[in-house]
Structure formats: C-alpha cells, structure tokens
C-alpha cells in the first residue's frame, strides 16, 4: 500500500468559527483581497471584522461560476491595490477564484501559462499568496482542495462542440502550492440557504463522498472521511432542505461537505464528475445539479461493469456499504444505492439534463470529452464509450 494525503495547514470547523477569520488574517497580511459571490453583502460581518483589526480591504464579486476573464480582472485589481492576502468567502466559485488569484499574485507570467487544456500547463514555481477559504455553502469542499476550476473560452479543444456560442470548457489551475493556509468552516453561514441551493450543493457533496470511496485510488484515510460523511449526509440533507434553520442538520451537512473535499483531493472522483466538467463548460448548468442528475446512472453502470469484468474486486461491497449507510438498513444490498439517490433527486426536484439544453445530438462530443477528463481516471474501472453513452442518455 502506498498513498499520499494532502491537507491545508490549518482547518477550523464549528459554529461561530467566522470570528477567527480576522485574527488569522492579521497574522498573514495587511491588505486583504476578499473574493465574494454575487451578493457581496453577505460578507459584511467578515469585512467589519477585518476593518476592526485595522486591515485594509479590497473586495471583488464573482457573478456565477468563475471565468478566466474574471480571474484575470481580479488579479489585476488585487495587484493594483497592493494586496498581500486573499480571502475567499462564498460558494465554490468564490473559493476557486480566490485560490487562482492567490497563485497568480506570486507567480510570474499570465493565467494561460499555467492552465490545463487551453493553456501551456506550466507548473507554479512559487507558493501562492496566503489564502483563507471560508465556504458559505455545504457542497464543493473547495476550501481544502489544491485546484481552481475555471470556465475558459475555447474554439479548438477536442471535437467540435455542439453548443451555444461562444463554446466554453472548464479547466483547472492545479498545484500543491495553491492549498489555502486556513480553511474556516462555520456551519452558521449556511443557515437559511434556499432549498434549491441546499439540494444542489448537498448532492454535490454526496457525489464527492461516493466517488472517492469507490475510486481506484481510495485508501484508508479517505475511506474514513467518506464513511463518516455518508453516515451524516442523507438525514442531514433532507432536514436542511425542508428546514433551512435546522442548526444540527447544517452542522452535519457542513462537516460531510468538508470531508468530501478532503476525500476528493486525495482519492479523486469518477464518471459523474468526468461528465460534469464538460457539461458545465458547454451549458449554463449548476455543477451540483448536473452531478446529481448523473449519479444514479453512474452507480448502476459502474456496478454492472464491475460485476461483469472484475467480479472479485471489492468495489461492489463498497456500493453495498454506501447503500447501508444511506438507507439506514443493515440488510441493504449494493443495488439499493442507485434507487435511494434517484429518490433524493426526485424529492429535491433536480431536473434532467435536457432542462439545460442538452439533447442526443450533444452526446457523442460530451462522451469523448468526458472520457479524457481527469476525474474519469479515478473511476472504479474504465468505462466503454457505450457505457458512457448510456449514462448520459439516461440522464437527459
């Protein structure tokens, strides 16, 4: 057995943890560049605390998922203001943008020098500027990962994309040097989130617990994180969806999401995320909702392929453990996992992928893109083009 485990130097979790942000920031810099989501007013308590600590503050709002243009503009703003510290406050989009800015502040060259797929893919050579990541949703786990997923324009990547112009692709800026110095997870920040956002982000976390647990790169440390997260997430997600002020449910959901981020950063993901990247680049589809729409079919196709091609592998038993943890039934078999997830998707009103404009005409190009995605490499076993086509077609 050989594995590595990477984590930010410091993780703070718990109700009221936001109070630790300003003192930590004061120890890391003097001028904070605060990246927020679309509604920057949600960061007012944080900004007030930073100013009370005599820190200079410059803010930048990310409207929607982060694009390469937005990150370039944000980096220019941070440099012009003389910022020496970056704080991401928001969902995964704000956190990914913050990590990207922190990397570009200390490394020479342009964003395209370091991007995968559409750029030159050069390695970062200098540690990123100090970064504090503060999630306000429970889903992406971006506060503890070492990459930033960005939407980039492209006209010459893979096959011709059948998409609404301009075609875009999701790409990563990736380096161990990008890990935040502090991941600060305060479940109170998620109280009262709308049910639709709770569902989409929570189902993303569920996907990020199932895929690393069944990954071909799984190991005992990631197993422990996934199993604890899976025990918490199903009951907590249902309660938080129906009662956004349920503090205990929000606590468990935030902890499960944090565990999912640590797990995916160290064991990889699988076919659901392999598809989610290309789909998210081509269509205005929320990442968590895309993963949720795909997940039941990914489980079914993976399980069938495992039984047909590697019946002696332990992965089928892992799907049985997932089913037992999600359903709460000690006698649940592996075949109960996909129906349970499908029922959650229905209960939470997650739409099929055709809602975002996908049709059967898009399937061949998306299958080809997904087969090359980095997330697909950690799937329990390689899937054939026919199996990938089945997954996507059923999710339409």
pLDDT at 154: 63
pLDDT at 79: 96
C-alpha of 100 from chain center: 15
* Sole residue written with tokens 């975002």: 356
pLDDT at 62: 93
Please state the rounded mean pLDDT for residues 234-238: 94
Whether 145 shows a pLDDT value over 50: the answer reads yes
pLDDT at 64: 84
pLDDT at 151: 86
Whether 160 shows a pLDDT value over 60: the answer reads no
- Give the sign of the dihedral formed by CA 393, CA 214, CA 66, CA 135: positive
Express each pLDDT in 205-224 by its tens digit. Answer: 999 999 999 999 999 999 99
Whether 156 shows a pLDDT value over 50: the answer reads no
pLDDT at 329: 95
Tokens, residue 393: 């077609």
Whether 158 shows a pLDDT value over 50: the answer reads no
Please state the rounded mean pLDDT for residues 191-200: 94
Binning pLDDT at 50, 70 and 90, where does residue 172 land? confident
State the maximum Cα–Cα separation within the chain, in Å, rounded to a whole number: 63
Q: Which residues pair with 174 in a beta bridge?
A: 147
Whether 340 shows a pLDDT value over 90: the answer reads yes
128, 101 contact by CB (below 8 A): no
Please state the rounded mean pLDDT for residues 137-162: 75
Whether 155 shows a pLDDT value over 80: the answer reads no
Q: Which domains does the chain have, with CATH numbers?
A: 10-187 (3.40.50.1970), 194-395 (1.20.1090.10)
250, 187 contact by CB (below 8 A): yes
CA pair distance 256, 299, nearest whole angstrom: 20
CA pair distance 289, 33, nearest whole angstrom: 30
pLDDT at 165: 38
Binning pLDDT at 50, 70 and 90, where does residue 167 land? low
Express each pLDDT in 44-81 by its tens digit. Answer: 999 999 999 999 999 999 988 899 999 999 999 999 99
pLDDT at 163: 40
- Give the sign of the dihedral formed by CA 353, CA 135, CA 129, CA 222: negative
């Amino acid at each position: 057995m050989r594995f590595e485990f990477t984590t930010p130097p410091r993780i703070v979790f718990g109700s009221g943890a936001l109070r630790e942000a300003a003192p930590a920031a004061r120890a890391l810099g003097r001028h904070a560049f605060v990246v927020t989501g679309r509604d920057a007013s949600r960061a007012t308590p944080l900004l007030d605390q930073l100013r009370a600590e005599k820190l200079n503050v410059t803010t930048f709002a990310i409207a929607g998922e982060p694009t390469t243009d937005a990150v370039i503009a944000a980096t220019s703003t941070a440099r012009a203001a003389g910022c020496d510290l970056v704080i991401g406050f928001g969902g995964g989009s704000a956190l990914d943008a913050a990590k990207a800015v922190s990397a570009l502040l200390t490394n020479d060259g342009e964003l395209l020098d370091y991007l995968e797929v559409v750029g030159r893919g050069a390695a970062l050579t200098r540690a990123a500027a100090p970064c504090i990541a503060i999630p306000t949703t429970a889903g992406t786990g971006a506060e503890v990962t070492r990459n930033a997923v960005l939407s980039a324009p492209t006209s010459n990547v893979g096959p011709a994309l059948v998409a609404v112009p301009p075609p875009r692709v999701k790409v990563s800026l990736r380096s161990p040097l990008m890990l935040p110095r502090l991941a600060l997870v305060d479940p109170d920040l998620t109280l009262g989130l709308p049910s639709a956002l709770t569902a989409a982000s929570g189902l993303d976390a569920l996907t990020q617990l199932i895929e690393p647990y069944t990954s071909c790169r799984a190991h005992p440390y990631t197993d422990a994180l996934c199993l604890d997260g899976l025990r918490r997430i199903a009951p907590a997600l249902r309660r938080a969806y129906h009662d956004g002020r349920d503090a205990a449910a929000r606590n468990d959901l935030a902890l499960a999401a944090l565990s999912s981020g640590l797990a995916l950063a160290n064991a990889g993901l699988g076919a659901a995320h392999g598809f989610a990247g290309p789909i998210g680049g081509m269509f205005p589809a929320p990442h968590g909702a895309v993963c949720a729409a795909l997940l039941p079919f990914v489980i079914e196709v993976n399980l069938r392929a495992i039984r047909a091609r590697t019946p002696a592998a332990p992965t089928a038993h892992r799907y049985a453990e997932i089913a037992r943890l999600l359903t709460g039934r000690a006698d649940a078999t592996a075949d109960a996992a996909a129906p349970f997830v499908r029922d959650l998707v229905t209960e939470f009103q997650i739409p099929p992928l055709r809602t975002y404009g996908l049709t059967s005409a898009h399937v061949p190009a998306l299958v080809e893109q997904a087969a090359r995605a980095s997330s697909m490499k950690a799937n329990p076993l390689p899937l054939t083009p026919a199996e990938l086509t089945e997954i996507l077609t059923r999710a339409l």
